[in-house]
Chains A and B, each alone.
Chain A
Amino acid sequence: MQMDFSYRETWLHKINPSLKLLVVVILFIHILSINNINFIITYTVGALVLYMCCTGHSSKNLFLISIPFLFIFLTSSTSMIFFGKGDVTWFKWGLIDITEESFFRGLHLGFRGILFAILGIVFSLTTRPVLLFYSLMQQVKLKPKFAYSFMAAVRLIPIIVEEMQTLRYALKVRGVEGQKGILGFYNKLTAYSIPLLSQSIRRAHRIAVAMEAKRFSDSTYRTYYYKIGFSKFDVLFVLYFILVIVVSYFTSIYLPYFSIQDVRYFN
C-alpha cells in the first residue's frame, strides 16, 4: 500500500523540540498525579483537539494512525474493569467481578493511556528527529557523539527494513516453514535477528571509523547547520496546555460527568 505522508507545516512544527519534549514529560508526570476521571476526560479532549486540527497531516492518515489508540484503551482498561477491587458489584461470573469502582478505574486508565498516546503521537508527527537532536545539542548540551550517533542510526533504519524484506523472501524461496510454539518463535527470532544484527553492527562500526577518520570531534564548541532558538509559538504551546489544565480542573469541580472524584480504592 502506498501511503502519502506529506503534511503542512503548522505552528506545532515551529516549536522548539527540546521545549516540546520537556513540556510533554512534565504533562506526563502531572497526568500521573490525576486520580479524578472527570479531570482526565476534559484533558484528553484538549489534547485531541491538537491532534485533529494542528498536526497538519491529512485526516485519512490521522484516522489510520488512531486505530491503535482503541487497542490502547482496551489493553489499559480491561484487566482493571474485570478484576479490580471494589465493593458495589455490577456483574459477577466466575473470576470476573465487575464493580462500579473497578469499572470507573478501568475507564480512567483507558483515558490515561489514550492521553499519553495522543501527546506522544502529536510530538512525533510534528517533530523531525534531526531537528530534535540539533536542538538537544544546542539547548540541553547533549554530547554530539550521542546526537550524531542517533541521527546516523535513524538513517540506517530504512536499509535494515529493506534487508528484513530480502531475508523474508530468501527464507520463503528456500521453503523455510515456521514451526509452532516457543521453539518456532526462537528459530524465527534467530533467523531474522542474527543477520540483521551482524550486518548492522558491521555497518555501524564502519561509519564510526569513517567519522573519526574525518575528524569528528566531541567538543561542544562547534558550529551547527541548523540553528534552533525559541519563538512565540513556544509560549503559545505552554499557554495552550495551561488553559486545558485550568478548564479541565474547573469542569471537574463544577460540571462533573460522573459523581466519582477519586478512582483509587480505599478501605
Chain B
Amino acid sequence: MQKGLKLTDILVTIIIALIFSVIYKLWGPLYGIVSTFGIQLEQLIYGMWFIAATVAYLIIRKPGVALLAEVAAANGEFIFGGEWGVATLVFGLGQGLAAELVFMAFRYKRYDVMTVSLAAVASGIASIFIDYYYSYIGDLALWNLFLMIGFRLTGSILIAGLFAYFIVQALEKTQVTNLVRPASSDDYKALD
C-alpha cells in the first residue's frame, strides 16, 4: 500500500468535511435556540460537531483521515464565520486528534459501530477537557456538571457514533465508497 494520503483521499476528505462544516454552521443557531431551555439540553445535540471525523474515517478508512476531516470542517466553519470564531479551530483540532487516537489504537483495522462510538466518546471527552479551560465548567454546580457531561457523551454516541455509522452504511449501497477505499484482502481473494 502506498504510504500517506493521495490527492484523491485528501480532496474527498476535505469535500466531506466542508459539507459538514456547512451543517456545523447551521447547527450553531439551533444549539443557541435549544440552550435557552437552560438545563443543558443543548448538550444532546453537541455530538453533531464530532461527526465529520467519524464519517470521513468510515468512508476512506485510512490513517490521518479523521484528524484531517475534523480540522478541515472546523476550518470551514471558521471561514464561513461560525459564531465561536477561533475557538472552533482549537476544538476541532482536539476532537480530531482524540478520534484519530482511537482509530490508531485499533490500528485502523476496525470499522464497526463500537469503534466509531468510542471515537465519538473520545472526541466528546476532548471537547470537555478544552471546555474546562474555556467555560470554567469545573465551577458549575456538581449535578449540573454531571448532567452536561452525560448529555454530551450520550449525544456524541448517538450522532457521531450511530448516525455516522448508519449514514455510511447507506452510502455503501450507492457503491461510491469503492472509489476511495483501499483494496481490502477480500478484494484480492475475489481475484483468485
Q: What are the interface flags for A64-99 relative to B under an 8 Å C-beta threshold, 1 for contact and 0 otherwise?
A: 010011011011101110111100000000010100
B-side interface size class: 35 or more
Which of B103-111, B115-123, B138-146, B184-192 contacts its partner? B138-146
Q: B72 in the interface, Cβ–Cβ < 8 Å?
A: yes
Interface contact B84-A72, CB-CB below 8 Å: yes
Interface contact A120-B88, CB-CB below 8 Å: yes
Give the residues from 74 to 112 in chain B that come closer than 8 angstroms, CB to CB, to chain A.
75-76, 78-90
From A67, which residue of chain B is reached at the shortest CB distance? B29
How many Å lie between the Cα of A145 and that of B8 in the bound state? 9
Which residues of chain A are near B140, meaning CB under 8 Å?
79-80, 83-85
Q: What are the interface flags for A91-111 relative to B under an 8 Å C-beta threshold, 1 for contact and 0 otherwise?
A: 000010100001001000100
From A85, which residue of chain B is reached at the shortest CB distance? B139
Q: How many chain A residues touch B (Cβ–Cβ < 8 Å)?
A: 75
Interface contact B166-A149, CB-CB below 8 Å: no
Which residues of chain A are near B1, meaning CB under 8 Å?
none
Task: Specify which of B29, B79, B88 is in contact with A68 (CB 8 Å cutoff).
Answer: B29
Which residues of chain B are near A205, meaning CB under 8 Å?
8, 11-12, 179-180
A72, A204, A218: residue with the most chain B Cβ atoms closer than 10 Å? A204
Interface contact B7-A83, CB-CB below 8 Å: no
Which residues of chain B are near A84, meaning CB under 8 Å?
136, 139-141
Which residues of chain B are near A150, meaning CB under 8 Å?
14, 72, 75
Interface contact A197-B84, CB-CB below 8 Å: no
Interface contact A207-B11, CB-CB below 8 Å: yes
Interface contact A120-B84, CB-CB below 8 Å: yes
From A200, which residue of chain B is reached at the shortest CB distance? B15
Task: Specify which of A72, A85, A149, A202 is in contact with B179 (CB 8 Å cutoff).
Answer: A202
From A152, which residue of chain B is reached at the shortest CB distance? B11
Q: A224 in the interface, Cβ–Cβ < 8 Å?
A: no
Which residues of chain A are near B85, meaning CB under 8 Å?
116-121, 123
Interface contact A74-B36, CB-CB below 8 Å: yes
Interface contact B22-A194, CB-CB below 8 Å: no
- Chain A nearest Cβ from B83, distance in angstroms: 5
- Chain A nearest Cβ from B42, distance in angstroms: 7
Interface contact B135-A194, CB-CB below 8 Å: no
Which residues of chain B are near A97, meaning CB under 8 Å?
141
Interface contact A129-B79, CB-CB below 8 Å: yes
Interface contact A27-B86, CB-CB below 8 Å: yes
Give the residues from 127 to 162 in chain B that come closer than 8 angstroms, CB to CB, to chain A.
133-136, 139-141, 143-144, 148, 158
Q: A196 in the interface, Cβ–Cβ < 8 Å?
A: yes
How many Å lie between the Cα of A218 and that of B38 in the bound state? 50
Q: B65 in the interface, Cβ–Cβ < 8 Å?
A: no
Q: B114 in the interface, Cβ–Cβ < 8 Å?
A: no
How many Å lie between the Cα of A32 and that of B86 in the bound state? 12
Q: What are the interface flags for B25-42 relative to A under an 8 Å C-beta threshold, 1 for contact and 0 otherwise?
A: 000110111011011101
Which residues of chain A are near B167, meaning CB under 8 Å?
189-190, 193-194, 197
From A190, which residue of chain B is reached at the shortest CB distance? B170
Q: A193-B167, A201-B59 are in contact. Are A120 and B82 (CB under 8 A)?
A: yes
Q: Measuring CB to CB, which residues of chain B are less than 8 angstroms from any residue of chain A? A: 6-8, 10-19, 22, 28-29, 31-33, 35-36, 38-40, 42, 55, 59, 68, 72, 75-76, 78-90, 133-136, 139-141, 143-144, 148, 158, 163, 166-167, 170-171, 174, 176-177, 179-180
Q: Which 7 A-B pairs have the closest CB atoms?
A: A120-B85, A71-B32, A83-B144, A208-B8, A116-B85, A28-B86, A204-B15
18 more A-B residue pairs beyond the given contacts A27-B86, A125-B81, A205-B11, with a C-beta to C-beta distance below 8 A: A28-B86, A68-B32, A68-B83, A74-B32, A75-B35, A76-B135, A79-B40, A84-B140, A85-B141, A120-B78, A124-B78, A145-B7, A149-B11, A152-B11, A153-B14, A153-B17, A198-B171, A205-B180
